[in-house]
Amino acid sequence: MPRPYLNNTSARRLFLDLHLLLRADPGPGRGEDLDAVLHGLGFVQIDSVNTLARAHDLILWSRRGQYRPRALQSLVAHRRSAFEHWTHDAAAIPMAFYPMWRAKFARDEARMRARWPAARRPGWTDELDRVLRHVADNGAACSLDVANGEERGSSGWWDWHPSKTALEFLWRSGRLAVCHRQGFRKFYDLTERVIPDAQRNHRIADADIVDWAMSSALDRLGFGTTAELAAFFEIVTRDEARAWCADALASGRILEVDIEMADGSRRRCFSTEALLDHARTLPSPSARVHLLSPFDPALRDRGRAERLFGFHYRIEIFVPEAKRRYGYYIFPVLQGDRLIGRLDAKRSGTTLVVRAFWPEVDVRMGKARTAGLVSELERVRHLVGADAVEYAKGWLIESAED
């Protein structure tokens, strides 16, 4: 029998709907509603870059326009319904997933012990017991609190002093947990003083963790290759992922499907009957314009974004067909099920400064689309605490040939 097939429009809409971007939802963006958003996405990447808003705040705001930054901190620091740890990068993760992270703690510890001696300044292993004892005796601590008279590194972001490396090692291996932040600075405490007993004491077999990670990734992507499913949470190995896909395919839990890419080619992926049925029932998207974070989960896999949406998105890239070079941290802009362009904007004091908007090669900025973009910028102004939006002369680039 021929494999099921999803055309590109249906595939985009399924993918965006599972990423909570296809349909508007007027939820309040805090408390239980924000818990549901985080659970639906699986995790939200936390990043320090703040030209307009921090990545995690813009990601959540793009799903819930009423969201404000303190709401995510509340989930981690007060409600304890989310915890901070690592997927492909630092992330806020639903607390319900904590038992599955035990496998990641062990694997990350083995990886750090193998790689960090060559990648980090020496002496950090000697600091492990002292740093752990300091936190146990004194409570929540940041890297400044555990510093041991060490000189700060000067060769880059990751040039940590040994006690900072020890603190991060203890966090990544599960012995400490992030209990709260002040500004963007992490404070760590003993895991048993942060993670609720129900999640901390719950034990799950390794095979069940693999099954959960792969199934949950598929439910949030809609379709994917073995590598894409394994990369979602970065818990399972590629060998485990291949074995899981083979077994799930043989038992009928998943099926192979052809997904049409933006260039008309077909890519063989895995999906489920339920997900394909869901794709067939989705409504057309609204015409609302969405400003996205460069780290939005829908765009984290740059290769997938290019294949599925025809959107070539990299940091500091030259796009020959557009005859343009885009600088660092340019914001993607979504309308409906299309990525329509890139925005260069930053917050300067109490002003949101819009320096340029470049539409994609086949996108024309008519009055309605331009008005939609302006409306979105007015909405994000409230998130970033700006009093006004200022547009640079010639900010709207009319066509790719200009």
Confidence at residue 318, expressed as pLDDT on a 0 to 100 scale:
55
DSSP 200: H
Task: Name the average pLDDT for the chain.
Answer: 92
Residue type at 219? D
CA distance 159 to 396: 40
Confidence at residue 317, expressed as pLDDT on a 0 to 100 scale:
55
Q: Is 398 left (phi over 0), alpha (psi -120 to 50) or beta?
A: alpha
DSSP 53: S
Q: Which residue has the tokens 């290759």?
A: 225
DSSP β-ladder status, 255-260 and 5-6: parallel
DSSP 215-282: HHHHHHHSSB-HHHHHHHHS-S-HHHHHHHHHHHHHTTSSEEEEEE-TTS-EEEEEE-HHHHHHHHTP
Give the DSSP H/E element, type plus range, for residue 296: none
Query: Which is nearest to 185 in space by CA: 169, 164, 166?
Result: 164
CA distances from residue 80 to 16, 99, 193 in whole angstroms, order as listed: 28, 14, 11
Domains of the chain, start order: 116-195 (1.10.10.10), 289-391 (3.40.630)
Residues 72, 77, 78, 83: is their CA dihedral positive or negative?
Answer: positive
Chain centroid, CA 357 distance in Å: 24
| pTM of this structure | 0.93
Print pLDDT tens along the chain (402 aa). 789 999 999 999 999 999 999 988 889 999 999 999 999 999 999 988 888 999 999 999 999 999 999 999 999 999 999 999 999 899 999 999 999 999 999 999 999 999 999 888 889 999 999 999 999 999 999 999 998 776 665 544 456 889 999 999 999 999 999 999 998 899 999 999 999 999 999 999 999 999 999 999 999 999 999 999 999 999 999 999 999 999 999 999 999 999 999 999 999 999 999 999 999 999 999 889 999 999 999 999 999 999 999 998 875 555 555 555 666 689 999 999 999 999 999 999 999 999 999 999 889 999 999 999 999 999 999 999 999 999 999 999 875 444
